[in-house]
Amino acid sequence: MAELAPNTGDVKQNVQEETISPWREAWRSFRKNKIALVGLGIVLFFIIIALFAPVIAPQGINEQDLSKRLQAPSGEHWLGTDDFGRDILSRIIHGARISLWVGFFAVVGSAAVGSLLGIVAGYYGRWVDTIISRIFDIMLAFPSILLAIAVVAALGPSLRNALIAIAIINVPNFGRLIRSRVLSVKQEEYVMAAKAIGMKDKRILFSHILPNSMAPIIVQGTLAIATAIIEAAALGFLGLGAQAPTPEWGKMLSDARSFLLQAPWTMIFPGLAIMLTVLGFNLMGDGLRDALDPKMKN
């Protein structure tokens, strides 16, 4: 009886499927999530606006015309004007730069410091873990916005100090997340083998443990950018963040409070910009979590 020859096409396909990298597989899973793609589209839209703000904005952010103050949306001013006659659309476009800049760099700073502390606490344990964990617990005992207000009050109100405050209050979130991940990863066989052959702790941490802990950092970082944008807007609304005449969305909301009934568009459009940006990062973060978390896969 003749033996059936193996289907070389099926063999090649199986080999290719086995050699797909985890990141490519995650991207394939992410692309199947339509809601996550909507979030990615919103984020890319605001990033493009921020990058090309000087070209896209129809007018200068500080061009005043008091004869046109508090004008309703029209063909000349698509989103209306504020109490100084400045074009709201132009200020919102330039405000995207500020909000994304604060959100990104605040999260990068908090992720770097928090991840480093979390890795050290999880890997070495004992008294090192106890001290770092208690510091995280103390910081998390305070409401985040109150802690941010306290930091800005100590440093002085400014956009830079608001960024520092937002980075500080997000450190424990990254630290505790990475600490729990390290406690699991350091028990893996490849880490135990690296220790057995005498590999130094520094190389183990940054060559084995950190790369295998990147997935939760990426997911937490994406969601944290949305939180950082809200916190920056809150500090700006309270007068502790960006100062006039900087076109920061929270500051724009604060300046428009007195004209809510007279000119509601002065608050509606900056508020919508904050809402859409945060929504985009949250949807994208949820999609990344589903794509990178093995527990979420069938």
- Residue-by-residue pLDDT tens, the chain, 298 positions: 444 545 555 544 444 444 456 678 878 888 888 999 999 999 999 999 999 999 999 888 888 888 889 999 988 889 999 989 999 999 999 999 999 999 999 999 999 999 999 988 988 888 989 999 999 999 999 888 899 999 998 999 999 999 999 999 999 999 999 888 888 887 777 777 877 787 887 778 777 777 777 888 888 999 999 999 999 999 999 989 888 888 999 999 998 888 888 899 999 999 999 999 999 999 999 888 888 765 555 4
Q: Is residue 8 part of a domain?
A: no
Considering the domain boundaries, does residue 5 fall inside one? Answer: no
Domain assignment present for 73: no
**pLDDT value at residue 132:** 93
Residue carrying structure tokens 């009886």: 1
Contact status, residue 227 vs residue 104, Cβ threshold 8 Å = no
Q: Report pLDDT for 15.
A: 43
pLDDT at 188: 75
CA dihedral sign of residues 176, 181, 187, 189: negative
Assess if residue 200 is contained within a domain. Answer: yes
Half-sphere exposure of 121 (CA within 13 A, CB side): 23
Residue 9 has a pLDDT of 53
What residues form DSSP beta bridges with 81?
87
Contacts of 229 (CB under 8 A, 6+ apart): 99, 100, 102, 103, 274, 277, 278, 281
Which token pair is 287? 């999609």
Predicted pLDDT of residue 31: 86
Residue 17 is predicted with a pLDDT of: 45
Question: Distance between CA atoms of 171 and 137, rounded to whole angstroms?
Answer: 11
Q: Measured between alpha carbons, how far is 78 from 43 in angstroms, rounded to an integer? A: 22
Q: What CATH number corresponds to the domain at position 256?
A: 1.10.3720.10
Element (H, E) at 178: helix 159-185
Is 119 in contact with 209 (CB distance < 8 Å)? Answer: yes
Q: Which of these, 191, 53, 77, 72, lies nearest to 123 by C-alpha position? A: 191
Give a yes or no: residue 6 inside a domain. Answer: no
Task: Supply 58's token pair.
Answer: 């129809």
Query: What is the extent of the structural domain holding 226?
Result: 29-62+84-296
At 198 the pLDDT is 76
Burial class for 291, CB neighbours closer than 10 Å (0-12, 13-18, 19+): buried
Rounded Cα–Cα distance for residues 285 and 291 (Å) = 10
Helix (H, G, I), strand (E, B) or coil at 158: coil
Instruction: Report the candidate in 188, 187, 213 with the shortest Cα–Cα distance to residue 114.
Output: 213
Q: Report if residue 203 sits inside a domain.
A: yes
Beta strands in 73-232 (DSSP E): none
| Domain membership flag for residue 79 | no
Cα(235)–Cα(151) distance, integer angstroms: 11
pTM confidence score: 0.85
In a domain, 74, yes or no: no
> Please, are residues 158 and 243 in contact by the beta-carbon 8 Å criterion?
yes
Residue 222: both structure tokens together:
């994406």
Whole-angstrom Cα Rg for the chain: 24
Domain count of the chain?
A: 1
